Amino acid sequence: MTITEKQSSSRLETKLRERTAKVVVVGLGYVGLPLAVEVARAGLKVTGLEISERKVQLVSAGHSDIDDISDETLAPFVKSGKLSASLDPAVLKDADCVAICVPTPLSKTKDPDVSFILNAVGRVEEHVHKDMLVVLESTTYPGTTEELIRPKLEASGMKVGVDFYLAFSPERVDPGNPKWGTRNTPRIVGGTTPACTRVAAAFYGLFLDCVVPVSSTQAAEMVKLLENTFRSVNIGLVNEVALMCDRLNLDVWEIIEAAATKPFGFMPFYPGPGLGGHCIPIDPHYLSWKLKSLNYYARFIELAGDINSHMPEYVVDRIARALNEDSKSIKGANIVVLGVAYKRDISDVRESPSLDVIRLLQVRGARVTYADPHVPSVKMDDTTMHATPLSDNLLKSADSVVILTDHTAFDYAHICATAPMVMDCRNATKNVPKGSGRVWKL
């Protein structure tokens, strides 16, 4: 590291140590808002830069639309002036540290859509200045920070690692997790240069319990993709095991529970109606796409994606077979779906397999209603479905009740005892005494 690098980085690090650094978080979604709250909790002043006027108004009033951040948590920071929200990119001109937390979806052809990142970087580019730290948190393919962001910011004439600092630090948010949140989940940090890594680590070290530096932005980008590819592949494996057990007339849940008693060499994963959320169904395809450009076919990723994406069809087939046992057709059947969020006890419906199951049931002529205490309404293509309160009349009138999200608010023993038939895709009824009703399991 040159003397210039040492002097420059020390000026920013002094601000960080003194907690006088001003922070801008670009994007106040499920990643950005919790991050901004932790920054404010550490005593730094933070502004959330948004493109949504509704979001700015909501946050400015001390209200949160994120499951993991309550109004009671957010409001004091807003009231004290430590946390604010703005639509004006000019807030970047006074920022010492900028964290970019914007969505990275896939296109219809499963190619990475980095338009949100490029839009955010374009805003930063207009205001990048000496001693600014810029960190990308959005999940993306290895090379994004170096190949897309660095050239844009260096177009100002400043040099990365000397005049400004650039790093990648992948978000590790698990919505609804009561044990691991933004602050206590170890954070990976990889800079474009050693100085960038050190400054970024100093920034995150102010408000996170554990920071883990790696050698480069590419390494940090790959870490996140490995984490979610690991989950996607193992869920794909156990979903295929569920298909096998169906043909072998075995209870896949019993098999997994027994295998999990092994104290080494086995980690339990569980089958379900498909993958949901922003990360696991999407992130592995970023890696697969990148490798295709290097003439490498990611076989595990593609196979797991194929198995997981077809689980909603398998669920509908199981429902049809169960109805057939009662001499009923899926066409015209009254189906009550329990849970449309993609996981337990949250309101997030992004990529939720429940929506795919509902669409497939409707295509086959079923009359579908849903109950979900966390999701009062959900957009289904060109229409909006509204949740129906879960009542005995609703349960009794159903030809099949399908558990797609195992919210803890549901009384599964009562559901099994009341509904004519239950299709359990989450093993939610595992503690319900046998003989409490007719239950089919995935």
**Surface-to-core class of residue 63, CB atoms within 10 Å of its CB (0-12 exposed, 13-18 middle, 19+ buried):** middle
Backbone angles phi, psi at 81, to 5 degrees: 90, 0
pLDDT class for 201, splitting at 50, 70, 90? very high
Q: Name the pLDDT band for 108 (thresholds 50, 70, 90).
A: confident
Say how many CA atoms lie within 13 Å of 197 toward its Cβ.
Answer: 18
Q: Which residues, in sequence order, are bridge partners of residue 146?
A: none
- Under the banding of pLDDT at 50, 70 and 90, the label for residue 8 is low
What does pLDDT average to over the chain? 94
The residue to which tokens 């909790």 are assigned: 41
pLDDT confidence of residue 9 = 55
Q: pLDDT tens digits, residue range 255-279?
A: 999 999 999 999 999 999 999 887 7
- The torsion region of residue 43 among left (phi > 0), alpha (psi -120 to 50) and beta comes to left
pLDDT given for residue 3 in this prediction: 46
**Residue 2 reports pLDDT greater than 70:** no
Distance separating alpha carbons of residues 172 and 72, to the nearest angstrom: 23
Rounded CA-CA distance 98/23 in Å is 6
HSE toward the beta carbon, residue 357, CA cutoff 13 A: 37
CA dihedral sign, ordered 183, 186, 190, 191: positive
Strand partners, 211: 187
Confidence of residue 313 (pLDDT cuts 50, 70, 90): very high
Residue 75: predicted pLDDT: 98
| Residue range(s) occupied by CATH 3.40.50.720 in the chain | 3-215, 232-441
Catalytic residue list: 279
Average pLDDT (186-192) is 98
Q: What interhelical angle do 53-60 and 71-80 show, nearest 10?
A: 80
Q: Which residue has the tokens 């046998």?
A: 434
Percent of the chain clearing pLDDT 70 (strictly above): 98
Q: Could you say which of 3.40.630.30, 3.30.43.10, 3.40.50.720, 3.40.50.280 is the CATH number of the domain covering 232-441?
A: 3.40.50.720
pLDDT greater than 80 at residue 207: yes
The pLDDT of residue 390 is: 95
The predicted model gives 150-172 an average pLDDT of 96
Q: Is pLDDT above 80 for 1?
A: no
CATH superfamily of the domain spanning 3-215: NAD(P)-binding Rossmann-like Domain (3.40.50.720)
Spatial CA neighbour of 301 closest among 321, 286, 319? 286
Q: Which two tokens stand for residue 61?
A: 């009033």
Give pLDDT tens digits for 328-349.
999 999 999 999 999 999 999 9
Mean pLDDT of 32-49: 97
The pTM assigned to this predicted structure is 0.91
Residue 283, pLDDT score: 85
